[in-house]
Amino acid sequence: MTDGFGAEEFFREEDARAGGDEAAVPPPSGWQPVVVDIGDDLDPIPPRAFLLGTAFCREFVSALLAAGATGKTALRVAQLLALATGRPLTGEQILADTAVHRNLFREPTIMIPTG
């Protein structure tokens, strides 16, 4: 290290601090505590407005990630049908009546010429 504070000295001081002998080991010169201002927001976090179990939440994006051909689309269609009909088709609790809109954000296959 460039400041002359090597690993052996560091571990020696940490061992002294762990033994409760903090007065014997002063902090390194130039050391300043880190002050983090977390603000004045002390209110509890409001509960999320879930729609179907814990799969869909109002005002949040939902994603389902898995390998190809594992039934992601079939599961999402069944979940959306459950929301649209009000019936627990997937065994998840329906927490709100809502309209359903499904977006397919699939990128088209792009062929890049290599020659």
Give the pLDDT of residue 88: 93
The residue-averaged pLDDT of 102-107 equals 70
The residue-averaged pLDDT of 84-110 equals 83
Closest CA to 89 of 77, 98, 99: 77
Is 98 within the bounds of a domain?
Answer: yes
Is 94 within the bounds of a domain?
Answer: yes
Is 42 within the bounds of a domain?
Answer: no
Q: At 26, which amino acid appears?
A: P
Q: At 47, which amino acid appears?
A: P
Dihedrals phi, psi of 23, to nearest 5 degrees: -70, -30
Q: Which residue has the tokens 């809502």?
A: 98
The residue-averaged pLDDT of 63-84 equals 91
- Higher-pLDDT residue of 29, 78: 78
Is 82 within the bounds of a domain?
Answer: yes
Is 80 within the bounds of a domain?
Answer: yes
Is 17 within the bounds of a domain?
Answer: no
Q: Which domain holds residue 60?
A: 47-102
- State the total domains in the chain: 1
